[in-house]
Amino acid sequence: MIAGALAAGPAASAQRLTECQHPLVTGVEVYHLSHVGTATACRVALALFRFEAKPGNIPKLYGCTSRPGRPFLKLRRFDGWSLHIAVSGPFVMSRGAASFDVTGTDFPLNCS
């Protein structure tokens, strides 16, 4: 699994984090929800976590640049949602006007 080395930044602490499982199992949390409900955001974030947890899928999701600590996404879409990494570090999923950030044990992505 990916250990989060990139700091989620002050935005994560300033926003209300929602744990997507109770009791906390995966560590997947969503925050900064915009035009999307918690249930939808958690469903998609947990599906991405399950995809990423399968052997061989981490290299399909992202790679690392020559700059230490800076990942780039290979997979740009998942389950109808666009994926990107914000300049400030958060992992963002969006579809139309809806968007949310993902954090937890696997996000942000690690390139140490």
Model confidence at 21, in pLDDT bands (50, 70, 90)?
confident
Residue 87 in contact with residue 100, Cβ under 8 Å?
Answer: no
How many other β-carbons are positioned within 10 Å of the β-carbon of residue 3?
Answer: 10
Give the tens place of pLDDT for each residue, 22-41: 776 778 899 999 999 999 99
In angstroms, rounded to a whole number, what is the distance separating the alpha carbons of residues 61 and 86?
A: 16
The reported pTM is: 0.78
> Bridge-partner residues for 91, per DSSP?
85, 102
With a cut of 90, say whether residue 1 has pLDDT above it: no
Q: Give the residue extent of every domain in the chain.
A: 38-89
Mean of pLDDT values over 71-89: 90
Residue 108 in contact with residue 8, Cβ under 8 Å?
Answer: yes
> Bridge-partner residues for 103, per DSSP?
29
Residue 104, Cβ density class (10 Å: 0-12 exposed, 13-18 middle, ≥19 buried): buried
Half-sphere exposure of 92 (CA within 13 A, CB side): 17
